[in-house]
């Protein structure tokens, strides 16, 4: 379903309220017709194929943002320079998810089959500050890493609309479950979005945020620090990563596919523990972690 936002900007509303493995996208219905992210399901794709799309833009490499790129036959794809390899290359995709690093190659195969991921071409790469001109509408690419090393948000200055992609403002909170994720970068990126003071935010999994967007960004940011307090409270003695993951601090529960959700619990915690070690609050000895401050 297409939901008009302002001017030529439309939300492409994904099935199941945009929950993974779907994600909402944008359709810019201007002189140059463009789609941002393609995880919105085949029914939406069939409608948009009739629109004479000039090109696609991916906000980052994750499967729920580039899933239907190849359905738009012959349409060029723009992707972030920092994340493009994860769209083009199965090896980079797997490496960035950390499957081999954590000895979880079989889970990597299962996950790729579950989300039906395939390599896809990228025709042009963009980087921080790139200006897209669609006709009446212009848009600036903002480098907002943390979720991935090459995650981007998009700012429509005239309309004061921000598409923040997977800075998604869901109740789950920030997700940093790749080896290329970084909690400190995620914190900085949320603050970048706040500094623009958008009147309206559109996110990949929450959709339209038109009421107190900066307040909701602050609540989303605080989820990181709430998790941090729980992690530190549990590390009153040495704990393995598995023992910490068993506390379900990130996910709360591990619904099916439980093994995949448990895996991502571990990776999110591992990335968060890297931040705590950099701060000097946690030490790691032979794979066990303990609070030292």
Q: Which domains does the chain have, with CATH numbers?
A: 2-222 (3.60.15.10), 224-291 (1.10.10)
**H/E segment holding residue 223:** helix 213-234
Q: Is the pLDDT of residue 244 over 90?
A: yes
Query: How do beta strands 9-12 and 2-6 pair?
Result: antiparallel
Q: Where are the beta strands (DSSP E) in 92-137?
A: 124-126, 131-133
Report whether 217 contacts 237 (CB < 8 A).
no
DSSP 8-state code for residue 130: P
User: Region 132-145: what's the mean pLDDT?
Assistant: 97
pTM (global) more than 0.85: yes
Q: Is the pLDDT of residue 1 over 90?
A: no
Q: What integer pLDDT is reported at residue 293 of this predicted model?
A: 79
Query: What are the CB-based long-range contacts (under 8 Å, 24+) for 125-133?
Result: 125/78, 125/79, 125/80, 125/81, 125/84, 126/57, 126/78, 126/79, 126/80, 126/81, 126/152, 127/80, 127/81, 127/82, 132/34, 132/57, 133/32
Q: What are the residues facing 57 on neighbouring strands?
A: 36, 78
The model's confidence at residue 207, banded by pLDDT at 50, 70 and 90, is very high
For 93-106, letters b (16+ CB in 10 Å) and e give bbbbbbbeebebee
Q: What is the mean pLDDT of the chain?
A: 97
Q: Which residues, other chains included, contact 57 with Cβ-Cβ below 8 Å and sequence gap of 6+? A: 34, 35, 36, 37, 77, 78, 79, 126, 132, 154
Tell me how far apart the alpha carbons of residues 126 and 151 are, in angstroms, rounded to a whole number. 11
Q: What is the percent of the chain where pLDDT is above 70?
A: 100
Tell me how far apart the alpha carbons of residues 142 and 184 are, in angstroms, rounded to a whole number. 17
Tell me how far apart the alpha carbons of residues 119 and 42 are, in angstroms, rounded to a whole number. 18
Helix (H, G, I), strand (E, B) or coil at 181: coil
Q: What integer pLDDT is reported at residue 198 of this predicted model?
A: 97
Q: What is the percent of the chain where pLDDT is above 90?
A: 99
Report whether 271 contacts 181 (CB < 8 A).
yes
Tell me the C-alpha to C-alpha distance, in Å, between residue 174 and each of 123, 227, 258.
29, 10, 20
Q: What integer pLDDT is reported at residue 193 of this predicted model?
A: 98
Angle of helix 213-234 versus helix 258-278 axis, rounded to 10: 90
For 77-130, write each residue's pLDDT tens digit: 999 999 999 999 999 999 999 999 999 999 999 999 999 999 999 999 999 999
Report whether 214 contacts 17 (CB < 8 A).
no
């Amino acid at each position: 379903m297409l939901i008009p936002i302002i001017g030529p900007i439309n939300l492409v509303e994904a099935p199941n309220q945009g929950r993974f493995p779907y994600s909402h996208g944008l359709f810019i219905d201007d002189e140059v017709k463009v789609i941002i992210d393609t995880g919105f399901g085949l029914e939406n794709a069939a409608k948009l194929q009739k629109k004479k799309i000039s090109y696609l833009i991916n906000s980052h490499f994750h499967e729920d943002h580039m899933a239907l790129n190849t359905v738009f036959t012959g349409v060029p794809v723009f992707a972030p320079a920092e994340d493009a390899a994860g769209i083009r290359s199965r090896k980079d995709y797997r490496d960035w998810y950390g499957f081999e690093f954590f000895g979880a190659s079989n889970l990597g195969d299962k996950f790729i089959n579950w989300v039906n991921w395939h390599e896809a071409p990228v025709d042009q790469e963009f980087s921080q500050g790139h200006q897209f001109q669609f006709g009446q509408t212009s848009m600036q690419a903002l480098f907002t890493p943390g979720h991935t090393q090459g995650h981007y948000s998009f700012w429509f200055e005239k309309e004061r609309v921000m598409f923040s992609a997977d800075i998604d403002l869901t109740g789950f909170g920030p997700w940093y479950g790749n080896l290329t994720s970084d909690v400190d970068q995620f914190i900085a990126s949320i603050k970048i979005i706040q500094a623009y003071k958008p009147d309206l935010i559109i996110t990949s999994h929450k959709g339209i945020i038109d009421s107190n967007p900066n307040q909701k960004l602050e609540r989303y940011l605080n989820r990181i620090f709430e998790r941090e307090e729980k992690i530190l409270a549990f590390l009153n003695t040495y704990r393995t990563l598995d023992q910490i993951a068993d506390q379900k601090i990130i996910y709360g529960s591990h619904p099916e596919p439980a093994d995949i959700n448990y895996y991502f619990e571990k990776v999110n915690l591992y990335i968060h523990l890297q931040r705590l070690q950099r701060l000097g609050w946690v030490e790691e000895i032979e794979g066990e972690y303990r609070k030292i401050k």
